[in-house]
Structures are given as structure tokens and as C-alpha cells.
Chains A and B, each alone.
Chain A
């Protein structure tokens, strides 16, 4: 690392390249957190839950409200840390509960309906959430208080890795690790994988499929809630429309990585973050969105199941 930094100091161009890698990975991990929610739900019931991005938006609104109530903007360091953990937990719980509720009320009654029906309902839920967001906080962009120091943790000014960037890693990495352990090694995780593979067979083996689906929605929702808090603290702006764009990127990340595949969603998120930051540096800011989707199309031509996707089940 030290030699890297020394190189960064002598070579401006290389420092900028490294800086864009840092930028790309931090925003990419945010996309990844949301993408996991898409991919888990798709993996288990083959539904593209278009409301997921807007769930994330509502989570960030809750976080903003809680930050105001708890007075975190003026809290001392210790209180701030404790407060933020509380906000994180509450936001995760809120999004998990909301996601489960939507599954119960909207998607579960449509479980045996043709695939397009729940898909269209998901778009409907997305509009309902946006409407709620609009009533809740209004239409304008809102500043999310700058609670964390923007201090550079690296010695050299040529390269910045700030406390905020570190915070993104501190939240995303353990969550992803925890999720992997959960899905791989617990009974419920095993049941989830079984349901994803074949719901009918899983039911025959005595797995309570509806409960497993509920757990999946809860986990996906809670990750969106975590992403919402991290997003607020890192990007510092929330608005009722933020779910759309972030949801679109996250969904793209899920497809890029191979929809239904958890590590794929994480990889896809980070790849999109990197395409955005490096594209902005070397191609031009206005091309970044086009670039993301161009790369997606090219990739899907050569690897139709995504970067890490292996299964080729029928897609919606």
C-alpha cells in the first residue's frame, strides 16, 4: 500500500486512476446491497420485485426522520455512534417488515397466477411507495445531515479514502459475509436454496415454502434498509425519486452478475460502480449510464446467464 501511495504521489494520472477505483468500489457496494434484495427474491419466486428500489427509498426517509428525532446532528461522538447503530437497526427492521407485509398482501395471493401478474403488481407497489414518499417528505431533494467526518484516512492528499468510505465497507462487508454464512450453513439457508431450486420438491420434503419466502423478503428488505442508511450517510441526499435510479442500477447489477446468484449480485454492483467512475474519468460523464447498459448488453450476448450465473431456468 505504501509503495502504491508513493507511486500515486509521483504519478498524478495513476493516483486519479486509484481514486476512481475507490469511488467505484464504494458506490458499487451500495448498488450491491440493493442488488442482493432483487436477486434473492428472483432466485426464490422468479419475481422481479420492482418495488425494491422504492423500499430502499422509504428506508432512507425513515433514517432521515430518526436522525432528526434523535438529534444526531449535534450529538457527541459516542452518542452519535450509538445513535447510528440504532438508526441502522430500526431502518433494517422497518424495511424487512414492510417487504414481508407486501409479500403477504400483494405477492402471496398471486403466487399461482401467471408470472406477469405479480410483476405488474410489483410496478404498482413501486408507485404506491413513491406516492407515500412524496407525501412523507415532499418532492424536492433533501439534504441528509453530514454526520460523519469527511476526513481523509490516507496520509497523502493525492489519494482520498475517507472515513465515510470506510463506513460503507464496515457495514457492507460484514452484512455480505453474514448473509453468505446464513445461506450456506443454516437450516433456513438450506431451505432457501432448496426452495430456489425446486419449490414443489421442497414442499414435498416438508419445507414450509411460504415461511422461507417470507424470510427471503425479510432479509432482502433489511439489506435495503441498511443500504438506505449507508446511502444517506455517504451520498447525503435523499429524494422520493431516488429508488428508481438506484433500483435500476441494482437490478442491472443483479442481471449482470447472473440473476438469482448472490455473489454475482455483489460482483455486478461493484462492476457497475467501477464502470461509472472510470467511465466518468476516461470517457465522459454524460456517457456513464449509456456505458453501463452497453456493457450489460455486450455481456449478455456472450454470457446470457450473467457473470456468475450458471442456472438457466425460465426467466420472466
Chain B
């Protein structure tokens, strides 16, 4: 395997103009630099990734598609297939390989799903290629001791860090959700998850904090995201009389149906979901009347309308350009695009390693999300989260979480 990777690498380098053998090519002072993104562009996450891509495009366009003497090109890669309806390992691996082989690619924006990032981070790491995720929240991708054993070192075969993210991870969001529930007066909670890296991860973190602060956890079950309805499950949960159901999952893994089937079996509990459901598709799929006043959504940042300064300017420009309000992740796509530009600007040369190092050195960056830095793991230092609810078919901001 190792030999194969080296073979591929040297093959990739061989394509570079002026490459001498297996050593890195001399950095160039001008020319074309390519930024690619790898997101699920087909299937049910499309609405959310459309908005991320719009954000990236706006960031690049605002810079006139150039940094210094470099012309910036952008390619929008899809890591999903129509048949799967969501990202697949094969597509994500192929995207990473394509980016590595293309000598012009200097920045890889992605992924949307944490599971997909696990595939591409080590590949890109070997190629010294900078990765910026607008949406991955699984803590193990960056934080030692916060994920599975061996994480995040297994993603860094070279020992260097090449992966950054502009979104706060779930080790903040999950526990804050539990604290928010307690504050609302919830006493008995049942936890569901979608058995995926993101959903199960955040549900476990919610559970750990809930037990610490004496919320009664009645049980935890993994659902089958392919199932069409959950009435039997809800019947079972109803008998346990919870005040709240926490669902660790996304709109794509049936959050809407979970909310709906609670009502169908006459379960009068609240439902709390993480940021994977912070999109209009959640309301459309659940039916607005089924969520009214009883659904609570945590989100690893502020909703678009609460952004200030550069963020507010971005939202206004977005509405002017696309004629509709950006979804929650648009600002993260925009931020990722700007971070890519900033890294290229700081590096000042077309060299993957220089750009990677420059990105990790970003401190006190004034972006759409506020003023933040990358910490030693490549994580954003942003900590503010928001608690939201649904009222009359629209998300409504309730309060800022985690400030005290």
C-alpha cells in the first residue's frame, strides 16, 4: 500500500512542469492556482451544499478570482452518487486522488460529512495539500482524546497537520445541548442517533454531559436511516414518558420523520436536534405544524440573520446575488473560501507545503463568522453557539449558548 502511494505521488509530481525526479518542484510566483471543493452535490444534502458552494464562489468572486499574480480557479467536485443519495467512500477517495494528481490544486475545501473527511484527510496529508472543512464537526478529526482511540494521528501519516475547519466541533455542541435542555426544565430524556460518525458522535457527547448534570437518560437507540417510519420505536419510547427526545442525526437521516412520528403516536415530548438539521429541508420534511414550539436546534455558530459586521455584509450580498436567504452553512462556505485565499496570499507562492503552513498560522482572522484563530489542532477558536426553535415554519433564534 505504502509503495503504491509513493508510486502515485511521484507520478503526480512527475506531471509538474519543471519537476526534477521525485523532489518538489520549485515554487512559482505566478500562474493558475486551483481551489477544489468536495461536497455531496447530488442526493438529499444538495440544498445545503448549494449554499456552501455559493458561499465559496462569492468569496472567490469578491477577490476578483486572483491573489497577487495568481489566477484562482475553482472546481466543484461531487462526493455523492445519485444511487446512494449521499456521499460514498469511493467518490470521496476519487476526488482526493484527482486533487492530488492535479498539480494546480493547492486547496481542498471539504468535506460536508465527517465520515468522508476520514477518507480524504490522510490521502491529502501525504500530498501536503491543505484541507478546509466548512462543515465537519466530529471532534476526533482534530482533537486528541476527544474521538476514537488513535485519532487524530491516524489521519496524519506525515505527522504534519493539513486539515483545518472553520466550524466548531461537536465536543462543544453536544454538551451545550444537554445544558440547554436542563435550563429548559427537561428532566427525562431519550436519546436517538443515526449510527453515523456525526450523529452517533454528537448523541454520545450529549449523553455524557446529560448524565453529569443529572438529566435522567431513559435509553439510547440507533435508528435505520433507510427506514420509512418509526411508529413502533416511538410507541416504545412513549411508554418511558420522556420530556425530550434528543436526535443525533441530520435531515438526511430522517430527523423530520422522527419528529412527525412522535406526534403520530401521541408523544408530547420536545425534540432537540443538532446543526445537521439546521436547514429549511428539516422543516419541509417534518411539516411546520409538527415542529411548532417543540423543536429545538443547536447550531455551531450564529444564524445568518444574527451575524454582524462582515457576516451581515455577506448575508446582504448573498440575498442580492441569489435572491434568497442563505442557509446556515453558507457563511461557513464563504469563510472557507476566504481562508483559502488568505493562505495563498500569506504563502505568496504556488507551493502546497507553504500554503498549508500559512493556513495553520492564521490568527485573529476577521471573517464573516467573527474574529477567530486556528488553534494548534487546526480547529477554529470560535465557541459561540446558538439555540434555535421553529415557529410558524421558520427557524427562530432563541439564545446564545455557552457564553457564561
In the complex the two chains form, is B228's CB within 8 Å of A280's CB? no
Residue among A19, A27, A150, A237 with the most chain B CB within 10 A? A237
CB of A23, distance to nearest CB on chain B (Å): 5
CB of A199, distance to nearest CB on chain B (Å): 34
Tell me if A141 counts as interface (CB < 8 A to partner B): yes
In the complex the two chains form, is A140's CB within 8 Å of B236's CB? no
Tell me if B389 counts as interface (CB < 8 A to partner A): no
B219-250 near A? 1/0 per residue, CB < 8 Å = 00111101111111101100100000000000
B253-267 near A? 1/0 per residue, CB < 8 Å = 010110010011110
Tell me if A276 counts as interface (CB < 8 A to partner B): yes
**Which B residues are CB-close (under 8 A) to A278?**
232
CB within 8 Å of A: which B5-44 residues: 42-44
CB within 8 Å of A: which B190-221 residues: 195, 221
Tell me if A121 counts as interface (CB < 8 A to partner B): no
Q: How far is the CA of A77 from the CA of B251 in the complex (A)?
A: 33
CB within 8 Å of B: which A262-316 residues: 276-281, 284-286, 288-289
Please tell me the number of chain B residues within 8 Å of chain A, measured between CB atoms.
41
CB of B44, distance to nearest CB on chain A (Å): 5
CB of B194, distance to nearest CB on chain A (Å): 10
* Chain A minimum-CB-distance residue to B260: A236
In the complex the two chains form, is B256's CB within 8 Å of A143's CB? yes
**Which A residues are CB-close (under 8 A) to B254?**
141
Tell me if B307 counts as interface (CB < 8 A to partner A): no
CB of B218, distance to nearest CB on chain A (Å): 14
CB within 8 Å of B: which A194-241 residues: 235-237, 239, 241
A141-155 near B? 1/0 per residue, CB < 8 Å = 111011000101000
In the complex the two chains form, is B236's CB within 8 Å of A286's CB? no
**Which A residues are CB-close (under 8 A) to B226?**
245, 289
In the complex the two chains form, is A281's CB within 8 Å of B222's CB? no
In the complex the two chains form, is B44's CB within 8 Å of A140's CB? yes
In the complex the two chains form, is B264's CB within 8 Å of A139's CB? no
**Which A residues are CB-close (under 8 A) to B233?**
280, 285
In the complex the two chains form, is A139's CB within 8 Å of B42's CB? yes
Q: How far is the CA of A301 from the CA of B10 in the complex (A)?
A: 54
CB within 8 Å of A: which B322-373 residues: none
In the complex the two chains form, is B228's CB within 8 Å of A286's CB? no
**Which A residues are CB-close (under 8 A) to B232?**
20, 23-24, 276-281, 285, 288
**Which A residues are CB-close (under 8 A) to B264?**
150, 162, 164, 236
Interface size on A, as a range, is 35 or more
CB of B219, distance to nearest CB on chain A (Å): 10
**Which A residues are CB-close (under 8 A) to B221?**
284-286
In the complex the two chains form, is B256's CB within 8 Å of A141's CB? yes
**Which B residues are CB-close (under 8 A) to A236?**
260, 264, 287
**Which B residues are CB-close (under 8 A) to A246?**
228
CB of A258, distance to nearest CB on chain B (Å): 25
A141 touches which of B285, B288, B290 (Cβ 8 Å) = B285
Q: How far is the CA of A86 from the CA of B232 in the complex (A)?
A: 31
Q: How far is the CA of A16 from the CA of B233 in the complex (A)?
A: 11
Tell me if B281 counts as interface (CB < 8 A to partner A): yes
Q: How far is the CA of A139 from the CA of B50 in the complex (A)?
A: 13
CB of B347, distance to nearest CB on chain A (Å): 38
In the complex the two chains form, is B227's CB within 8 Å of A235's CB? no
Tell me if A160 counts as interface (CB < 8 A to partner B): yes
Task: Give 17 A-B contacts (CB < 8 Å), ordered by A residue.
Answer: A130-B82, A140-B44, A140-B46, A141-B257, A142-B284, A146-B290, A160-B266, A235-B229, A236-B287, A246-B228, A277-B235, A280-B232, A280-B233, A280-B236, A281-B232, A285-B232, A288-B232
Interface contacts beyond A152-B266, A162-B264: sample of 20 additional A-B pairs, CB < 8 Å, sorted by A: A12-B239, A20-B232, A20-B236, A23-B231, A139-B43, A141-B251, A143-B256, A145-B287, A150-B263, A150-B266, A236-B260, A236-B287, A242-B228, A277-B232, A280-B232, A285-B224, A285-B230, A286-B221, A286-B222, A286-B224
Residues of chain A touching chain B, judged by Cβ–Cβ distance below 8 Å, are 12, 16, 19-20, 23-24, 27, 127, 130-131, 134, 139-143, 145-146, 150, 152, 157, 160, 162, 164, 235-237, 239, 241-242, 245-246, 276-281, 284-286, 288-289
